[in-house]
Amino acid sequence: DDSWEVAGRKFTSRLIVGTGKYKDFAQNAAALEASGAQIVTVAVRRVNVSDPKAPMLTDYIDPKTTTYLPNTAGCFTAEDAIRTLRLAREAGGWDLVKLEVLGEARTLYPNMRETLRATEVLAKEGFLPMVYCADDPIAAKQLEEVGAVAIMPLGAPIGSGLGIQNRVMIRLIVEGASVPVLVDAGVGTASDAAVAMELGCDGVLMNTAIAEAKDPIRMAKAMKLAVEAGRHAYLAGRMATRKYADPSSPLAGLI
Amino acid sequence: DDSWEVAGRKFTSRLIVGTGKYKDFAQNAAALEASGAQIVTVAVRRVNVSDPKAPMLTDYIDPKTTTYLPNTAGCFTAEDAIRTLRLAREAGGWDLVKLEVLGEARTLYPNMRETLRATEVLAKEGFLPMVYCADDPIAAKQLEEVGAVAIMPLGAPIGSGLGIQNRVMIRLIVEGASVPVLVDAGVGTASDAAVAMELGCDGVLMNTAIAEAKDPIRMAKAMKLAVEAGRHAYLAGRMATRKYADPSSPLAGLI
Amino acid sequence: DDSWEVAGRKFTSRLIVGTGKYKDFAQNAAALEASGAQIVTVAVRRVNVSDPKAPMLTDYIDPKTTTYLPNTAGCFTAEDAIRTLRLAREAGGWDLVKLEVLGEARTLYPNMRETLRATEVLAKEGFLPMVYCADDPIAAKQLEEVGAVAIMPLGAPIGSGLGIQNRVMIRLIVEGASVPVLVDAGVGTASDAAVAMELGCDGVLMNTAIAEAKDPIRMAKAMKLAVEAGRHAYLAGRMATRKYADPSSPLAGLI
Amino acid sequence: DDSWEVAGRKFTSRLIVGTGKYKDFAQNAAALEASGAQIVTVAVRRVNVSDPKAPMLTDYIDPKTTTYLPNTAGCFTAEDAIRTLRLAREAGGWDLVKLEVLGEARTLYPNMRETLRATEVLAKEGFLPMVYCADDPIAAKQLEEVGAVAIMPLGAPIGSGLGIQNRVMIRLIVEGASVPVLVDAGVGTASDAAVAMELGCDGVLMNTAIAEAKDPIRMAKAMKLAVEAGRHAYLAGRMATRKYADPSSPLAGLI
């Protein structure tokens, strides 16, 4: 009953997982299953298209039951990203895509100027871009205005596992958004995912936290539960904090 | 398969919930069920024993299927706590008990001197005391030595909802303990419970975080999931953190 | 000897203070003196120009000994900000200015698209813009490229006093910058200012933390010391952290 | 004018520094001077008493102008600590001493049971013990009751440089204490020292943060400033935090 929608498509899982850094496609598929995710994101530029005899991700993760979300990892200009997604659409018909236009290799921080430009072009061409972006509430609104169907602010640098650095800004983005907000990048362990959801996000995308855990399958399960936990906690409305203690049992009137 | 044991008793749920601050016994019972907890803790001194016509908690939460863990909330001396638990044993036969000897009303911080003394006496009398205590790794070992069957350090003041304040000390206590360690007090929302478990604790006890949530039943569900998430994340072995970004998809060799 | 330069101008104080929210100009001047700041920032649009009989800030803070840094507080478009600064230059000859183009009243977060555009125009017109901006390392480089003489990322929302939210990004901005980086906004107390400096920033700008302290003059003094403390700590090179204790005195070979 | 007193002795500096881990006595003396500290603490058991030809700390730091505070580093029982301090008193006449009774080498956490016992014995023998202790507000009051002249809770494990882990408890100890409270252990850099003072502590004791900095002399200077900054900030009364932004300059009525 607690589903969410992006661009008219409905999902019950609020966790999106990646397809990088796994030992092999079989492990990736097993982690996906344990995570309960209904969406996987795939770097278009990494997909094997030249060697028909090499193994294919689609042999392990069925595109009929799992939504493939092509992404533009490795693109450093709007043009690059646009071209990559046009290719993806031609090849596979995808229109729901994840746009990322990176600024540099060191931080993998988004280039927001290029990201805004690419979002606008893609939206005009009929794409439905979910957009990796800075934790910037004004840029988030601008992305919405030019056609982003979801806002995906980073929690911390991609692959860093440092957790949600700026809770204030994620909260302000959520409060201001009229499309789904998903934290993308920075999650390192289960509690980080729960924090993202407790801030009111609609979902979380992660790759390294699962793929680089000692036991990726179990971590995928942990992330599934953490996202659900954080979502329920958000909906439940947490207690207020107190500066002093407050007894669970009244201190007066004891026998 | 991932069960834990305290004093020879085996449990699969790692969440212990309280029985204070709820609207009524029915809500308390519903929250317990949503939490999946197999243990409830009850303040002996608050239990209605004088008015046989007033409602009884046992009418709502069946002692045959849920383990009752009598506690000494409201006791400020070792004597007080010992007397209270003797009463509980006489009345209901309980020997697995939760000892808390508080230092003052303002902080509800444990009086560790009295707590140590009470633990020793109780253990000699055949009680199996699970002990609310400071996040002090040396006192934790001393409690073990005199008979504590579980160490229950506070995460933050009782009823404050401030979350785990001192992760360093909880980790050091876990590393040094040979009996179960459960964070008791301070959890405010789901991610706090996950953090406790990620530090390697065997379980978490909470009351206010559930009872004072706007929707206690849903928060109980959130806490169930968060404890499981944190436990799985701990067992899975989290990724290492990085100071810089690291791409999920290799940046070289792109098409 | 530890001075810093912005646009060829040399300063020994690394603290810049504001001129809003004070009880009166006299208190503002006293706080400035206690802070040791050599630069004050003034909202051009708030300056009294119509009533020659009203008190003037320049009667209290001498522009000959203190550098006035006109800012564009209250401007929500590039045009607005540019027009405001042209006015300031005409009136007082200022070219070293602080640009802020805000996105909305709720967050007072910068509109980075407009900020970039305004920076470019202003630089071409000969202004030397110090630029309030997001904690975005890519945008920081873009600002530099179009002529920003200093990068001024927010630590937290203006006037919030929440402290430096995203230490990771401030550090990454500092590492990548070739112009001075000053944290602007978010400082609430002395340790926040020290943290900014320990991350390697060249300076800190603040207003509310001083003006809204119970004793603004003493807080100004605290901020002076905190900025110096943080700067020295950064230059001194802090110790590495340890997961376990390490004795100051060797544990072996004791008498 | 902002001095503090411990056991009737008045000091203007609120920083106490150690004498371990320095390259040599000359560096230690130089760091002391840069720190402005009026008290140094010395591990009695490490003091050279057997070789009259070896260099002596007292040749570098004059006991006539700097208060020597003998400490019991390396003592793991009350007896050990008491014996060590008796020795110190016999040798040098000291009665103002720093008691530490450690629980184990791994954490160097205080053994509070032994610490309480030693404090009581020492006080009865006329010593004036400043006591290294857990961040436990109840134990702090018990230490006071048996004669501690200052309470010195750890901020983090000795030599870890992890900073103040539990601000809630340090604050609660300060609120409850009627003798001076000094954070002892855990400070890693200047902002940590400022935080301790902002919580209302009367002072800070540190060793490794200065001795292991790349430039110990400059770090000593940083710590001097940070302690003063934090003290002024505490006395000045910091601004309240806000969840949203608040303009320094009114947004209405602009020209």
* Global ipTM: 0.93
- Test mutation, A50, A232, A244, A254, chain B, max B CBs within 10 A: A232
Identify the residue with better confidence: D93 or B226: B226
Sequence letter at residue C237 = G
Does the distance separating the beta carbons of B158 and A208 come in below 8 Å? no
* CA B248 to each of CA A31, A35, A39, A119, A143: distance values in angstroms, whole numbers, following the listed order: 15, 18, 16, 22, 24
Mean of pLDDT values over D225-241: 97
Q: Please report the DSSP string for chain C in residue order.
A: ---EEETTEEES--EEE--SS-SSHHHHHHHHHHHT-SEEEEEGGGS--S-TTS--GGGTS-TTTSEEEEE-TT--SHHHHHHHHHHHHHHH---EEEE--BS-TTT--B-HHHHHHHHHHHHHTT-EEEEEE-S-HHHHHHHHHTT-SEEEE-SSSTT-----S-HHHHHHHHHH-SS-BEEES---SHHHHHHHHHTT-SEEEESHHHHTSSSHHHHHHHHHHHHHHHHHHHHH-PPPP-SS---SS-SSS--
Whether the CB-CB separation of C31 and C217 falls below 8 Å is answered with: yes
Give helix B190-198 / helix A190-198 axis angle, nearest 10°: 170
CA distance D130 to D7: 9
Active-site amino acid positions of B: 98
The enclosing H or E element of D98 equals: strand D96-99
In this complex, the chains that touch C, judged by 3 or more CB pairs closer than 8 A, are: A, D
Model pTM score: 0.94
Distance to chain C for A43, nearest Cα, Å: 22
Least confident among A210-219, C107-116, C246-255: C246-255
Does the distance separating the beta carbons of B254 and A46 come in below 8 Å? yes
Among the partner residues C138, C162, C176, nearest to A110 by beta-carbon distance: C138
Among the partner residues C236, C245, C247, nearest to D215 by beta-carbon distance: C236
* D49 has a pLDDT exceeding 70: no
* B178 has a pLDDT exceeding 50: yes
- A177-198 burial string, b = 16+ CB within 10 Å, else e? bebbbbbbbbbbbbbbbbbbbb
Q: From the candidates D98, D141, D221, D224, give the one annotated as an active-site residue.
A: D98
Chain C's closest residue to D157, CA to CA, is C245
Identify the residue with better confidence: B52 or D158: D158
Does the distance separating the beta carbons of D134 and B107 come in below 8 Å? no
Does the distance separating the beta carbons of A160 and B246 come in below 8 Å? yes
Q: What share of chain B is helix, strand, coil (3-state, %, to 5)?
A: 40, 15, 45
CA distance A165 to A107: 14
Does the distance separating the beta carbons of D141 and B136 come in below 8 Å? no
Cβ-based interface (< 8 Å): residues of B facing D: 103-104, 106-107, 109-113, 116, 134-139, 141-142, 156-157, 160, 162, 165-169, 172, 176
In this complex, the chains that touch D, judged by 3 or more CB pairs closer than 8 A, are: B, C
Pairing of strands C39-43, C15-17: parallel
Does the distance separating the beta carbons of D230 and C109 come in below 8 Å? no
A15 class by beta-carbon count within 10 Å (0-12 exposed, 13-18 middle, 19+ buried): buried
Mean of pLDDT values over B162-177: 96
pLDDT for the residue numbered D138: 98
* D21 has a pLDDT exceeding 80: yes
CA distance D211 to D29: 11
In chain A (255 residues long), the average pLDDT of successive 10-residue segments reads 93 96 95 98 80 85 94 95 94 93 94 98 98 98 98 96 96 97 97 98 97 98 98 97 84 50
Cβ count within 10 A of residue C28: 25
Chain B's closest residue to D110, CA to CA, is B138
Does the distance separating the beta carbons of B241 and A161 come in below 8 Å? yes
**A1 token code pair:** 């009953």
Does the distance separating the beta carbons of C167 and A165 come in below 8 Å? yes
* C11 has a pLDDT exceeding 90: yes
Among the partner residues A110, A113, A141, nearest to C116 by beta-carbon distance: A113
Does the distance separating the beta carbons of D198 and C246 come in below 8 Å? no
Is A221 annotated as catalytic? no
Mean of pLDDT values over C145-164: 96
- Test mutation, B249, B251, B254, B255, chain A, max A CBs within 10 A: B249
Average pLDDT, rounded, for chain C: 94
The enclosing H or E element of A107 equals: none
Identify the residue with better confidence: D104 or A249: D104
Distance to chain C for A114, nearest Cα, Å: 11
Q: Which chain C residues have a beta carbon less than 8 Å from that of D43?
A: 248-249
- Test mutation, A101, A104, A136, A154, chain C, max C CBs within 10 A: A136
Chain B's closest residue to A35, CA to CA, is B229
Does the distance separating the beta carbons of A238 and B208 come in below 8 Å? no
Mean of pLDDT values over D109-135: 98
Distance to chain A for C76, nearest Cα, Å: 11
Cβ partners under 8 Å of residue D154, min gap 6 = D109, D110, D132, D133, D134, D135, D183, D184, D185, D186
Q: How many CB pairs below 8 A link A and B?
A: 268
Average pLDDT, rounded, for chain D: 94
Q: From the candidates C21, C23, C98, C124, give the one annotated as an active-site residue.
A: C98
- Test mutation, B14, B47, B189, chain A, max A CBs within 10 A: B189
Chain C's closest residue to D22, CA to CA, is C248
